[in-house]
Amino acid sequence: MSRQDGRAPDQLRPVKITRGWISHAEGSVLVEFGGTRVLCAASVQDSVPRWRRGSGQGWVTAEYAMLPRATNTRNDRESVKGKIGGRTHEISRLIGRSLRACVDYKALGENSIVLDCDVLQADGGTRTAAITGAYVALADAVAWMRARKMCPGDPLVDSVAAVSVGVVKSTPMLDLCYVEDVAAETDMNVVMTGSGAFVEVQGTAEGAPFDRRALDELLDLAVAGCEELTLHQQEALGR
Amino acid sequence: MSRQDGRAPDQLRPVKITRGWISHAEGSVLVEFGGTRVLCAASVQDSVPRWRRGSGQGWVTAEYAMLPRATNTRNDRESVKGKIGGRTHEISRLIGRSLRACVDYKALGENSIVLDCDVLQADGGTRTAAITGAYVALADAVAWMRARKMCPGDPLVDSVAAVSVGVVKSTPMLDLCYVEDVAAETDMNVVMTGSGAFVEVQGTAEGAPFDRRALDELLDLAVAGCEELTLHQQEALGR
Amino acid sequence: MSRQDGRAPDQLRPVKITRGWISHAEGSVLVEFGGTRVLCAASVQDSVPRWRRGSGQGWVTAEYAMLPRATNTRNDRESVKGKIGGRTHEISRLIGRSLRACVDYKALGENSIVLDCDVLQADGGTRTAAITGAYVALADAVAWMRARKMCPGDPLVDSVAAVSVGVVKSTPMLDLCYVEDVAAETDMNVVMTGSGAFVEVQGTAEGAPFDRRALDELLDLAVAGCEELTLHQQEALGR
Amino acid sequence: MSRQDGRAPDQLRPVKITRGWISHAEGSVLVEFGGTRVLCAASVQDSVPRWRRGSGQGWVTAEYAMLPRATNTRNDRESVKGKIGGRTHEISRLIGRSLRACVDYKALGENSIVLDCDVLQADGGTRTAAITGAYVALADAVAWMRARKMCPGDPLVDSVAAVSVGVVKSTPMLDLCYVEDVAAETDMNVVMTGSGAFVEVQGTAEGAPFDRRALDELLDLAVAGCEELTLHQQEALGR
Amino acid sequence: MSRQDGRAPDQLRPVKITRGWISHAEGSVLVEFGGTRVLCAASVQDSVPRWRRGSGQGWVTAEYAMLPRATNTRNDRESVKGKIGGRTHEISRLIGRSLRACVDYKALGENSIVLDCDVLQADGGTRTAAITGAYVALADAVAWMRARKMCPGDPLVDSVAAVSVGVVKSTPMLDLCYVEDVAAETDMNVVMTGSGAFVEVQGTAEGAPFDRRALDELLDLAVAGCEELTLHQQEALGR
Amino acid sequence: MSRQDGRAPDQLRPVKITRGWISHAEGSVLVEFGGTRVLCAASVQDSVPRWRRGSGQGWVTAEYAMLPRATNTRNDRESVKGKIGGRTHEISRLIGRSLRACVDYKALGENSIVLDCDVLQADGGTRTAAITGAYVALADAVAWMRARKMCPGDPLVDSVAAVSVGVVKSTPMLDLCYVEDVAAETDMNVVMTGSGAFVEVQGTAEGAPFDRRALDELLDLAVAGCEELTLHQQEALGR
């Protein structure tokens, strides 16, 4: 079963995590999953949203976007259209929820961290690359805060990574690139903690509905993929 | 393990599907899952979106919304705010994708069906009730079209139903009501075809990440729940 | 002079007022004028708009909307269009003004009541049905507040009801249904108090301008219609 | 019964209608009702809205707006707020409907006339001044079209004028200025044709509901006021 | 080198500055540069934007807009389109910056002045007319404030005027009207203080890029033009 | 006169132009002026805006934006705010106008090129870096088109580069970084062609108005700076 770029079905694309890619942010990472390139910037704010004030607890949120020419044909800017599309909303919410799974709000204190994930070049798996990279940016921002004694404790209770899996021409495959994603009958995004538990499982029958066995095979691939991505994150962080 | 309304963990709330609830729509259903009440209206249009024209194929889409006082405290209208929130976008997209899983676009011809799912009263599971009810409204709209010979074939290749499951106080439970949903550590929405395959699996760790066993138990509950909902749909349709 | 549904020119359609139609709102009513069905929900808030603060006085406001398939052909959602249309604005303002005519702001204290009037099915006269039903929802919300001793006095100084009248094929008629409304040369909406005074008189020459005699005849019909609607309201409220 | 500016209750403020006030528009009028000053511009377009195409019939529409400092305190621009308020919508619709009452769409041919009514200075009665002035601008635009033989016939079948009336301190009064408008218990805007028929009657109980006799007295005042305004229009048009 | 209206290349159009054109504003001016007519209203507010609070310093800002039929063909309203165009934004910012060049924020105290510049009729040079007129409105508003002892000192340290220049058919010309502006190869707007210094120089090659000599000739023309406009301002202000 | 980074007053920051930085665009450049980093992507479209159709001529336009954390503190996204700010509009328009100065529309044929300039990291001079980089991306896109014989001729008649200059602490300086820009009394952006003519000159008195001599000194610096940038562009393009 050969893939267009010669990978084995259970093989990730080359992963590259570059820390400190922009100078202003408290944490910043350029993450690459093959041709997918996402710039993740973590911004620390010493305040929390209104509904959170006085709770002694912090907040983590995320915004995802694509540059107009990250894709093969140009997309109009959402700022020009004057509204954010459903897909953008959905992915921003997913990234935020995923990262909050490894955060202890009390240890963070009444501070916020915003994770901006901007896709500079897209080749499938942009949301999973964003989550994987954003965790590293988050870790750097947390280190920055702790060096300044902004947090009452250690807000990071685990790590988080994500990968896409899918059934392409009846074969379950790991980390789909764009052409595989388009051809996939079933597509699943899986977010896991470094300790091996699930944070999100989002499976969608793009073509035909799928049975329990396909679901299980995809989960097996994803578990292995997330483990490998966790190692990449640890290595990038020098652990 | 008692639930607040006395149900067993694997028990659905009372399900009620009332067809023809409004007179103008080609198909309309008031679906009730306990205290959750959603009005689903199917509107037939003899045209397709621009990108679909000339393909000989149809399209099915959905829009989800909540009345301001469907919930315990009043929510501002999205029309007044001037934009649709991320949650609304996400659910509208989910409903559309789910129903398209049982549609043969060629047999539909170049026609569209829009499914409007408006929550009149919310008590948890509004998106799964919406999908389950919308299928019945869709079936009525398709019958209306076929009676007028608008379709080249039978556009409905299967049925679709959905249910929520979750882990509440360490117990996996079927069809969460609002207070259970809020208390759930893990929350999953599962959409299945009448023939027993998965269309969507969306599991989220609200509190703590979950392991593979919890995932499997939730899927078991959901499979049984969707089977039962499929029976309710068939009964409502007089099959 | 026969009407399409066999009514006499001075006859209302069947009126039905169902209280407590949804469970969360402090007052809620499903009001039906023949095929027109409007869900009116009254939401109590223990605060007032900014410009009203510190005055010791309350406020009552209304929002009107139509479900997309309340009408014969589907209308796009105003939330999707990103703005509220002129007609919606106009009717929301009319409903709010009408109900404020029976409210004593001081007796209400610094509390607000929002009346959401959502048209589930439209067959002419949606704004007059909304006003007539919203009064009953308002009365229930006020009773709810008074049971909790939220108000310094009795905020309801009168009742309010509304009806449409029009000249169709040269005949003045009461409570126009949709096909009559479309055919009307002149169309008038009249809002009155239970004690028989006018709150709003809005007459429009849809086809040809009208003379003083036609205006007088329409007012006579409307006065009688509002009296009858007031009785329906009293009966629904068990008075 | 003295009014603040010394007028009798049944007396209009000084009316001034200046034609050709701006050079680009096919018809333009600066209309003044005392301190209220509205610039009315009529723009001819040789096309009609999409829903009107191929009908052989024309269309007339209006847009009303206020400059930010037309009023005593500055109002934010609706363009800056990004949306049009309910009051603006309501008045634009009223002006459009009013002027359409004197137009024969077939004689206009498939052409449109847009009437822009911009309030430069406001002192009560801006909508009635706008209607009264817009008719004159419309007449000039129609003359411009007829000189170019753009219309199959004479599109103006009558003239239209409007005035406000109200009950202030229990006295019915004609053509309220701002301070009277604010103090009015009842407020009514009446639009009439030059031939003496009603186009719009919009009466509102601002303070206390009103009885039939007050309504009749206000209508009497309005009829006389509109007759006088019609003479002003005729004089301005040199008839 | 004759111009279409017979002016010499270095000649301004007739300038007319009418103070107190509307009654509500603290300062108001109708400024005319030939056929260009702009209404400038200065509104005093005893507060400053949030970011300025507690600084003891004031703020001056401007908003520019055009009536829909100020131009030869009608433009849609920005309020109806729901957003402000780039050109409007750009000119509003230019006017605000220009006027702030003659203001001492400390002497103004924590007060704001908003300058609304609405183009009633456009014939080229609307932004330069707006700046020139807005200065006079600003001076009147400042006098109004000083009469009420609202300012700790004299906030006006200089005056500001502006003019357009351009190269038309290879000839540098002062104060372009619309047809010249359209034909200009190079177009420059110059804002200067009454004391002869530059506040803004904005030159644009509309057709072909321009050399240093053309730039110098245009600046010479602009300097003389602004001097003359300054005299008009002084005269209008009775100095 | 030492600058904070040790440069001479007439010295550019290190300039780096990396072509082909993203894979999908027909031309793409990462341009760096010291710490300012802008990604410029040129997208070719075989169509023109509606108003240009049938003219046989092409069009070139630009959109400028900043990532939220390109700056020292995070800025809210314009897509989230739902509207584009004045500064963004202004710069997008400047970039488009500047690049059109070197384009022969007829030689381009009825094709469009959109230049997206996204600031990844900002340290002053983002608009001038964007113009300078966008020209190179444009040249690559034109080469791509010519290789496919899409253009009737050579659409590039010249090159375009831009630089900022300003007076800081009374010293005229070239290519201001952020801290210099903030401190500048006068700030000017100059766009020039490779052949040495001016395309845009935009000078603004940020602090005190400036005299003719300061203007001349700034122009001298800018001319030299643009010449040097033109060499960088030629070198990047391998000429």
| D197:C219 CB<8 A | no
The pLDDT assigned to E206 comes to: 82
Contacts of D45 in chain E (CB under 8 A): 74
ipTM: 0.94
Of D198, D203, D208, the CB nearest to C209: D198
The Cα–Cα gap between F3 and D141 comes to 65
Q: What is the pLDDT of residues F110-129, one digit of tens each?
A: 999 999 999 999 999 999 99
Q: Mind giving me the DSSP string for F150-182? A: -SSS--B-S-EEEEEEEEETTEEEES--HHHHH
For residue A233, pLDDT over 70 is answered with yes
User: With contacts defined as CB-CB under 8 Å, which chain A residues touch B205?
Assistant: 101, 197-200
Check residue C42 and give its pLDDT: 98
- Encoded tokens for E70: 């100020």
Nearest to A228 by CA among A159, A127, A179, A142: A159
Q: What's the rounded Cα separation, in Å, for the pair C220 and C209?
A: 19
Q: Which of chain B's residues have a Cβ under 8 Å away from the Cβ of C84?
A: 79-80
**What is the structure's pLDDT at B239?**
85
- In terms of DSSP bridges, do strands A112-121 and A59-66 run parallel, antiparallel, or are they unpaired? parallel
Q: Which residue has the higher pLDDT, D200 or A207?
A: D200
Reported as a single tens digit per residue, the pLDDT across E180-219 is 999 999 999 999 999 999 999 999 998 889 999 999 999 9
Q: Which chains form contacts with chain B, at 3 or more CB pairs under 8 Å?
A: A, C
CB contact under 8 A, E205 and F219: no
Phi, psi values for residue D28, rounded to 5°: -150, 145
Q: Which residue has the tokens 């100020």?
A: E70
Q: Which of B74, B75, B112, B118 to mutate to test the interface with C (most CBs of C within 10 A)?
A: B74
pLDDT 10s digits, C164-201: 999 999 999 999 999 999 999 999 999 999 999 999 99
- DSSP for B142-168 reads HHHHHHTT-SSS--B-S-EEEEEEEEE
pLDDT average, residue stretch F94-105: 97
* Banded pLDDT at D206 (limits 50, 70, 90): confident
> With an 8 Å Cβ cutoff, are C197 and D211 in contact?
yes
| CA–CA distance, A67 with B173 (Å, rounded to integer) | 42
Q: How far apart are CA C122 and CA C133, in angstroms?
A: 14
Q: For residue A163, what are the β-bridge partners?
A: A190
Using 50, 70 and 90 to split pLDDT, how confident is the model at D1? Answer: low
Residue among A23, A88, A122 minimizing CB distance to F121: A23
Global confidence as pTM: 0.91
Whether residue F121 and residue A22 make contact (CB cut-off 8 A), yes or no, is yes
The tokens for E23 are 């009654």
**F69 and A25 in contact by Cβ < 8 A?**
yes
Q: Assess contact for F199 and F193: CB atoms under 8 A.
A: yes
Would the CB atoms of E209 and F86 count as touching at under 8 Å? no
pLDDT of residue A176: 97
Q: Enumerate residues 6+ apart whose C-beta is below 8 A from E157.
A: E102, E103, E104, E107
Q: B111 φ, ψ to 5°?
A: -125, 155
Q: How confident is the model at residue F1 (pLDDT cuts 50, 70, 90)?
A: low
CA atoms of C206 and C188, how far apart (whole Å): 10
Q: How many beta-carbon pairs under 8 angstroms link C with D?
A: 94
Query: What are phi and psi for residue E157, nearest 5 degrees?
Result: -95, -10
Interatomic CA distance for residues F168 and F184, integer angstroms: 4
Partners of F205 on chain E (C-beta within 8 Å) are: 101, 197-200
Closest chain C C-alpha to B59 CA, distance in angstroms: 16
Dihedral angle of Cα A212, A216, A222, A223, to the nearest 10 degrees: 140
Residue of C65, F25, A203, A113 lying closest to B215 (CA atoms): A203
Q: CA B134 to CA B142: how far, in whole Å?
A: 12
Is 60 exceeded by the pLDDT of residue F104? yes
- Taking only the tens place, the pLDDT of each residue in F82-91 is 889 999 999 9
What are the chain D neighbours of C193 within 8 Å (beta carbons)? Answer: 209
Is A87 one of the annotated binding-site residues? yes
Residues contributing to the annotated binding site of E for phosphate: 87, 125-127
Per DSSP, the residues of chain A read ---TTS--TT-PPPEEEEET-SSSSSEEEEEEETTEEEEEEEEEES---GGGTTSS--EEEEEEEE-TTSSSSPPPPHHHHTS--HHHHHHHHHHHHHHHTTB-HHHH-S-EEEEEEEEEE-SS-HHHHHHHHHHHHHHHHHHHHHHTT-SSS--B-S-EEEEEEEEETTEEEES--HHHHHH-SEEEEEEEETTS-EEEEEEEESSS-B-HHHHHHHHHHHHHHHHHHHHHHHHHTT-
Which among C66, C72, C156 has a CA at the least distance from the CA of C117?
A: C66
Cα–Cα distance measured from residue B234 to residue B132, given in angstroms and rounded to the nearest whole number: 11
Statement: residue A207 has pLDDT above 60: yes
Contact criterion met (CB < 8 Å) for B199 and A202? no
- Beta-carbon separation of D22 and E120 below 8 A: yes
Q: Do E74 and D28 touch (CB under 8 A)?
A: no
CA distance C72 to chain D (A): 17
Q: Name chain E's partners: 3 or more CB pairs within 8 A.
A: D, F
Give contacts of D70 with chain E, Cβ < 8 Å: 22, 24
pLDDT on residue C1: 54
Kindly determine whether residue A215 and residue B197, on different chains, have CB atoms separated by under 8 Å. no
Q: For testing the chain A interface, which of F29, F30, F79 should be mutated: the one with the most A CBs within 10 Å?
A: F79
Q: How many CB pairs under 8 A join A and F?
A: 93
Nearest to F60 by CA among F116, F126, F127, F130: F116
Residue D35's pLDDT is what? Answer: 96
Residue D43, min C-alpha distance to chain E (Å): 7
Who's near C66: CB < 8 A, 6+ residues apart? C75, C88, C118, C119, C122, C126
How far apart are the C-alpha atoms of E173 and D179, rounded to whole Å?
A: 51
- CA nearest to B42 within chain C: C69
* Largest distance between two CA atoms of chain B: 57
Helix (H, G, I), strand (E, B) or coil at B105: helix
Question: Out of B197, B210, B223, whose CB is closest to A197?
Answer: B210
Q: Answer whether F89 sits within 8 Å of E92, measured CB to CB.
A: no
- Does F90 contact E90 at a Cβ distance shorter than 8 Å? yes
Q: Measured at the alpha carbon of residue B196, what is the angle toward residues B191 and B202, in degrees to the nearest 5? A: 25
**Taking all residues of chain E, what is their mean pLDDT, rounded to a whole number?**
96
On chain E, the residues whose CB falls within 8 A of the CB of D71 are 24
The conformation of residue D22, written as its DSSP 8-state character, comes to S
Select from A213, A192, A116 the least CA-distant residue to B219.
A213
Band of pLDDT at residue C4, cut at 50, 70 and 90: confident
The per-residue pLDDT for E207 is: 81
Amino acid at residue number B4: Q
Q: What is the DSSP string of E48-95?
A: --GGGTTSS--EEEEEEEE-TTSSSSPPPPHHHHTS--HHHHHHHHHH
B-chain CB neighbours of C82 within 8 Å are 82-83
Q: Would you state the structure tokens that stand for residue C148, as one six-digit string?
A: 């909790």
Q: Tell how far CA F124 is from the center of its chain.
A: 12
Q: Do F121 and A45 touch (CB under 8 A)?
A: no
Q: Quote the CA–CA distance of D227 and E6 in Å, as a whole number.
A: 48
Place of tokens 């040809």: C208
Please compute the mean of the pLDDT values over residues E69-81 and round it to a whole number.
Answer: 95
The predicted-structure confidence for F126-181, as pLDDT tens digits, reads as follows 999 999 999 999 999 999 999 999 999 999 999 999 999 999 999 999 999 999 99
Please say whether the beta carbons of B102 and B157 come within 8 A.
yes
| C-alpha span between A21 and B106 (Å, rounded) | 49
CA B143-B147-B149 angle, to 5 degrees, is 110
Tokens linked to C105: 């702001």
Q: Is residue D87 annotated as involved in ligand binding?
A: yes
Distance from CA of B239 to the nearest CA of C (A): 27
| Chain D environment of C204 (Cβ under 8 Å) | 97, 199-200
C93 and D101 in contact by Cβ < 8 A? no
What averages of pLDDT result for each successive group of 10 residues across chain B (239 residues)? 86 98 97 98 97 96 98 95 92 97 97 98 98 98 98 97 96 96 95 97 92 96 98 96
- Amino acid at the residue B77: R
- In this predicted structure, what is the pLDDT of residue F239? 85
- How do residues A1-32 score in pLDDT, each as one tens digit? 579 889 999 999 999 999 999 999 999 999 99
